[in-house]
């Protein structure tokens, strides 16, 4: 396994809101979005990869570490380098594009041992390299995730990009891998505390040890373009603020903080039920917002890149 593999996602148009009927087809189609081609990492960011970032941000001797350049982290392949269209502004405000990293957020990058150990039972971070290096990093804030992706030469995917990959584009898949029920054998997704024993249920999470698997373990759960763990293991931070979908959307994101002061997380995690794995529904079960400084054993991420 190469932890840093990034796979191209072919651009196209899909519906961000949909459900699957009994015959496996998509119904309730709404909220159209068009996404240009981009690359999306095959795997969630691991503890081992994130450790290198922590060393750059928090050097042990000088005390002066790496910080993102103001305006970095944009989708520079779009709109003549201006990035995504920002649809989170009033209609009379004109055309506004992706701002990239905001320098005043530098103080919010804080991948310390204490912060990365936000849950004593299920945090994957260990202060010294050891057995957890291939597990997905969790307990990261939105700021940590965004900064890492910039440091690693990429950017956080927009919600539309992430959902497009999870839905298999215009295939509008029930799950990222198709319509097969994920079951309890950890083949399609790491969820509902089935890993590693297959027992399931929140009680199992507390009795069988950490229920988070090495990235890519659920090999049958690959999406259309080859990404793994798009459903389950850890929920993934996206770039957008949590708001109402604007239609139509063409290479767009909600990038203005307004009534909702939360960022989008998608994908379900190791401790949630089947319904959280569905990429198309927009209820609170499936599409969540979280405060960007929030840390949880359920929160991880992956990066996107120019095609």
Q: Does residue 102 form part of some domain?
A: yes
Evaluate whether residue 110 is within a structural domain. Answer: yes
Question: What pLDDT does residue 208 have?
Answer: 58
**Which pTM was predicted?**
0.95
Q: Which residues of the chain have pLDDT under 70?
A: 1, 62-63, 206-209, 282-285
Q: Is residue 290 part of a domain?
A: yes
Residue 284 confidence (pLDDT): 42
38 belongs to a structural domain? yes
Q: Is 169 left (phi over 0), alpha (psi -120 to 50) or beta?
A: left
Would you say residue 87 lies in a domain?
yes
Q: Note the pLDDT of residue 65.
A: 92
Report the distance separating Cα 67 and Cα 56, nearest Å.
9
CATH number for the domain harbouring residue 160: 3.90.1580.10
Provide the domain limits for residue 90.
6-305
For residue range 206-258, list pLDDT tens digits in order. Answer: 665 679 999 999 999 999 999 999 999 999 999 999 988 999 999 999 999 87
Domain count along the chain: 1
Does residue 227 sit within a domain?
yes
The count of C-alpha atoms lying within 13 angstroms of the C-alpha of 78, restricted to the half-sphere facing its C-beta, is 26
**Cα dihedral 172, 175, 181, 183 in deg (nearest 10):** 180
Question: Pairing mode, if any, of strands 85-86 and 12-20?
Answer: unpaired
**Per-residue model confidence as pLDDT tens digits over 55-87:** 999 987 766 799 999 999 999 999 999 999 999
- Look at residue 275 in the predicted model and tell me its pLDDT: 85
**Exposed, middle or buried: residue 284 (CB in 10 Å: 0-12, 13-18, 19+)?**
exposed
Q: Per the domain annotation, does 1 fall within a domain?
A: no
């Amino acid at each position: 396994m190469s932890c840093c593999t990034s796979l191209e996602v072919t651009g196209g148009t899909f519906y961000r809101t949909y459900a699957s009927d009994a015959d496996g087809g998509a119904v309730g189609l709404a909220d159209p979005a068009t996404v240009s081609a981009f690359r999306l990492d095959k795997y969630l960011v691991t503890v081992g990869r994130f450790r290198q970032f922590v060393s750059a941000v928090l050097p042990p001797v000088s005390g002066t570490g790496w910080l993102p350049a103001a305006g970095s982290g944009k989708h520079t392949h779009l709109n003549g380098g201006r990035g995504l269209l920002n649809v989170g502004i009033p209609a009379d405000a004109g055309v506004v594009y992706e701002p990239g990293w905001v320098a005043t957020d530098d103080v919010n990058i804080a991948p310390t041992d204490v912060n990365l150990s936000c849950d004593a039972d299920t945090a994957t971070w260990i202060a010294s390299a050891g057995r957890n290096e291939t597990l997905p990093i969790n307990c990261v804030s939105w700021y940590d995730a965004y900064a890492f992706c910039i440091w690693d030469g990429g950017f956080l995917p927009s919600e539309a990009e992430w959902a497009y990959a999870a839905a298999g584009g215009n295939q509008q898949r029930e799950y990222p891998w198709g319509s097969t029920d994920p079951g309890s054998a950890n083949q399609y997704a790491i969820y509902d505390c089935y890993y590693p024993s297959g027992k399931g249920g929140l009680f199992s999470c507390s009795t069988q040890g950490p229920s988070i698997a090495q990235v890519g373990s659920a090999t049958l759960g690959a999406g259309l373009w080859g990404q793994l763990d798009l459903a389950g293991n850890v929920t993934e931070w996206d770039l957008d603020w949590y708001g109402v979908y604007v239609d139509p959307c063409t290479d767009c994101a909600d990038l203005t903080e307004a009534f909702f002061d939360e960022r989008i997380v998608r994908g379900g995690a190791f401790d949630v039920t089947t319904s959280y794995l569905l990429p198309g529904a927009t209820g609170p079960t499936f599409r969540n917002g979280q405060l960007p400084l929030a840390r949880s054993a359920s929160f991880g991420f992956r990066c996107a890149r120019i095609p």
